[in-house]
Amino acid sequence: MEFQDKVLKCIDCGVEFVFSAGEQSFFHDKKFRNEPKRCKACKTKRGAARGSGSSEGIRLTEKAFAQVVCSGCGKQTTVPFRPTQGRPVFCRECFVSRGQGQASA
């Protein structure tokens, strides 16, 4: 299959970028079905914002803290993650006591 360079428009910044024949071949070999939607600059910026790192290989992460009500005792607490809906969340004291209780059971 022969590929030709295509000019695409970035959905974030609107700038036109080239989807080269080589890139198309790679996408075809990997069985990727969708063409790229972002230019290289926007893809790098988006990756850094999502915590996947920057082009220099430095991983940038920010912990997400959430205010929740403990499923054990009912007090308000802060946890260092984003809770999953439908799963119980415990304050430090209840979490530790549950862990110790489960170890002896």
- Name the average pLDDT for the chain: 84
Nearest to 36 by CA among 17, 22, 14, 56: 17
- Size of the chain in residues: 105
Which sequence spans correspond to the domains of the chain?
6-49, 66-104
Whole-model pTM?
0.46
pLDDT score recorded for residue 104: 47
- Asked if pLDDT for residue 70 goes beyond 60, the answer is yes
Q: What is the pLDDT of residues 18-63, one digit of tens each?
A: 999 999 999 999 999 999 999 999 999 888 877 654 444 445 456 6
Q: What is the DSSP letter of 63?
A: P
